[in-house]
Amino acid sequence: MEKKQAVVGDYVVTARIGSGSFAIVYKGYHKVTNVPVAVKAINKTKLNPKLLENLESEISIMRQINHPNIVKLYDIKKTDKHIYLMLEYCDGGDLQHFIKKQPNGVVTEATARHFLRELADGLHVLWSLNLIHRDLKPQNLLLTEPSATSSLKIGAFSLSPLIVII
């Protein structure tokens, strides 16, 4: 018997890939283009009014950012209980897992330099918009592929890790 897949707007949800306090992240794809996406399902019932307000602000900011070192927000769908963010899918996983898979958990100097350059480029864009990401850590830095030359993307923006500097 074929497993039934969930559909959120124009996106098919295929597999759970992670979770946090307020959200579950699934892998999915666009029904027409087949572009892979990460579908972040945020449970609104677990958010207090301030967190919900912060999330709406973050979504507004994310819609404006288009940079190769920042995870793209493709689409948003809302229901009574959930907010679904359709985000760029990064097939290489996060930087923490990449480092753990290296011999002795160590990356080469060239690899570290490459990833730091990519991170600096993404941070420069955020800073130019007067934004600070408050939760930078290897788990929130995503790789487009599991290789030392992968593009690195800053992710995990939802629920207020960004601060606007006035």
Q: Which active-site residues does the annotation give? A: 135
Residues of the binding site for ATP = 40
CA distances from 65 to 6, 20, 49, 73, 127 (A): 28, 24, 25, 8, 12
Residue linked to tokens 């990449």: 98
User: Whole-angstrom Cα distance, residue 122 to residue 141?
Assistant: 10
Question: Taking the alpha carbons of 85, 88, 93, 98 in that order, is the dihedral positive or negative?
Answer: negative
Residue 17 three-state SS: strand
Residues of the binding site = 40
| Backbone phi, psi, residue 134, to 5° | -95, 5
CA distances from 113 to 1, 84, 118, 146 (A): 49, 34, 9, 16
| Backbone phi, psi, residue 49, to 5° | -55, -35
